[in-house]
Amino acid sequence: MRKLLFRAAVLGAVAGGYVAQLRPRHLRFGATDEEVRRPLPGDDLIKDARLQSTRAITIDARPDDVWPWIIQIGQDRGGFYTYDWLENFFALGIHSTDRIIHEWQHREIGEFVRGSAWGHAGWYVMEVRPPSVLVLQAGDERTGRPVQADEPPMGTFTWAFVAEEQDGRTRLIVRARYGYTRWMARPIVELAEIANFIMTQRMLRGIKDRGERTAACRRAVQGEGTAA
């Protein structure tokens, strides 16, 4: 019993330290104060979000070079440009591509973006405005609609990708919002957000690398510079 209580105390201390020290930084990885505060597309889909993260990265490429990588995310398309080995440890069947595929360059509102090779979870496209905005909301392919905040196990979740041009470069902002009404959803959401941080920070870097390679190739073809 003492060992169990000790382990619980250690776990509680670790969790408390994470919430107090690391989580605030993880929730705004790479983002400025202004980016964290201001509204973004998709915010209106969850009126009273219980948890929100805003993460960002600067890419030395125009939005036109970055967008092709954003629009083809999904297990059924180009993957998520993150830790494939970790995703496939859970047999999700995700493989991130290093190529822009012409057939994957279009999404329509209401289209389903698959999250894994098994099950029915993923996201529905709620807004799409090339080359700057893609908004997804968690959904179940069996119901054909987004999940609602009062549905188990963890309510609903939105994922917004906003690519803004800044002096010839791209500021890519990714916002996640969680809405739930059931008390038992909170621990699930908290764990999901830790995983979301781990994967999103790698995804931002993955898109940055790919977008900058695309820009380098374009500049080389146009005689603006040398491809890396």
CATH of the domain at 58: 3.30.530.20
Is 88 a member of any domain? yes
CB-count exposure of residue 142 (10 Å: 0-12, 13-18, 19+): exposed
State how far Cα 164 lies from the chain centre: 16
pLDDT for res 84 = 86
First to last CA, the chain: 60
Domain membership of residue 194 as a residue range: 30-221
The reply to whether 20 falls in a domain is: no
Give pLDDT, residue 18: 53
Q: Is residue 68 part of a domain?
A: yes
Q: Identify the pLDDT of residue 4.
A: 43
Please say whether the dihedral angle defined by the alpha carbons of residues 144, 82, 163 and 33, taken in this order, is positive or negative: positive
In a domain, 22, yes or no: no
The 10s digit of each residue's pLDDT in 35-87 is 999 999 999 999 999 999 999 999 999 999 999 999 999 999 999 999 988 87
Overall domain count for the chain: 1
With respect to residue 6, please indicate whether it lies within any of the assigned structural domains.
Answer: no
Q: Which amino acid is at 155?
A: G
The reply to whether 206 falls in a domain is yes
Given a contact cutoff of 8 angstroms between Cβ atoms, the answer to whether 61 and 166 are in contact is no
130 found inside a domain = yes
Give per-10-residue mean pLDDT for the chain (228 aa). 44 46 88 98 96 98 98 95 83 88 97 88 97 97 93 94 96 97 91 93 98 95 62
14 domain residue, yes or no:
no
Could you give the angle at the alpha carbon of 60 between the alpha carbons of 57 and 63, nearest 5°?
80
pLDDT of residue 224: 60
Give me the amino acid identity at 124: Y
